[in-house]
Amino acid sequence: MNFHLILFLAFGAVCVGGAINLLVQRHPINSALSLIAVMAALAGEYLLLGAEFVAAVQVIVYAGAIMVLFVFVIMLLNAGEEEHTGGSRIAMLLGVPGMLTGSVLTAWVVLRHSGTQSVPIGALPGSPRDIAQLLFHDFLLPFEVTSVLILIAIMGAVVLASKPEASAGEGER
């Protein structure tokens, strides 16, 4: 029972609890907040593995920007609690046991055949300098392509979410 294991279990418990809470909650805002908790705990797990820059970016980008987008949309569209329809009951009956079986099977296989591979705490220190060296030398093309991808996403979002033109009102006459 070493320090690494204690911290891993603490952050892991928050991750697991948040993920299950996301499934159980009926109102999307509660699911969104549980997802934020999962992301924050995952940032802690990344820190345990030494990826400090990735942990900071996870908090800034994922928990601090993408989830803000989700919360905005939930607030603007006034999403209410969801009801249980016939289809969703069947899905729950088949889906939850199926998911449980799948994950238990995978976990059993992984734990059985893992050998003695272990990672120490802070295994691979990912300082911004080292990551920048790799990102701007070996991975420069994917980096530039992702910038184009973001530009396309911005344009697409603006076009898709803009109000329809006044010609829609003319059709009513």
Partner 1 sequence: MTPSYVPLSYYLVLSGFLFACGVAGFIIKRNIISIFMSIELMLNGVNLSFVAFAAHWHTLAGQIFVFFVMVVAASEATVGLAIIIAVYRTRETLNVDQVNLLKL
Partner 2 sequence: MSVGVFIFVSVIKSLIVLIVLLTAVAYTVWLERKVVGHMQNRWGPTRVGPFGLLQPMADGIKLLFKEDLTPPHVYKPLFIAAPLMAVTFALTSIAVIPFGNSITIFGLNVPLQITDVNIGLLMILGVTSLGVYGVALAGWSSNSKYSLLGGLRASAQMVSYEIGLGLSLVGVIIQSGSLSLRTIVDAQGGHMLGFIPRWNIFHGQFIGFFIYLTAAYAETNRIPFDLPEAETELVAGYHTEYSAMKFASYFMAEYANMITVACVATLLFLGGWHGPLFGPALLQAILPLFWFGAKVFGFLFLYIWVRGTLPRFRYDQLMAFGWKFLLPVAIANLVATAIAVAW
* Interaction residues for partner 2, span 3-42 (CB under 8 A): 29, 33, 36
Quick one: 22 or 59, whose CB is closer to partner 2?
Answer: 59
Backbone φ and ψ of 33, nearest 5°: -65, -35
Q: Should residue 140 be labelled a site residue for partner 1 when binding is judged by CB under 8 A?
A: no
Contact between 128 and partner 1 by CB under 8 A: the answer reads no
126, 51 in Cβ contact below 8 A?
yes
Q: How far apart are CA 136 and CA 143, in angstroms?
A: 8
CA distance 150 to 62: 15
| 118 versus 170: smaller Cβ distance to partner 1 | 118
Measured between alpha carbons, how far is 80 from 100 in angstroms, rounded to an integer?
A: 28
CB under 5 to 8 A by kind: which of partner 1, partner 2, none does 17 bind? none
Residue 37 interacts with which of partner 1, partner 2, none, CB < 5 to 8 Å by class: none
Site of tokens 């099977």? 105
Q: What Rg value do the Cα atoms of the chain yield, rounded?
A: 22
CA dihedral over 140, 151, 63, 80, signed as positive or negative: negative
| Smallest separation, CB 79 to partner 1 (Å) | 5
CA angle, corner 71, sides to 68 and 76, nearest 5? 125
| Per-residue binding letters, 88-127, with partner 2 (x by CB under 8 A) | ---------------------------------------x
Interaction partner, residue 8 (partner 1, partner 2, none; CB < 5-8 Å by kind): partner 1
Could you give the string, one character per residue 4-43, with x where binding to partner 1 holds by CB under 8 A and - elsewhere? xx--x---x--xx--xx-xx----x--xx--x--xx--x-
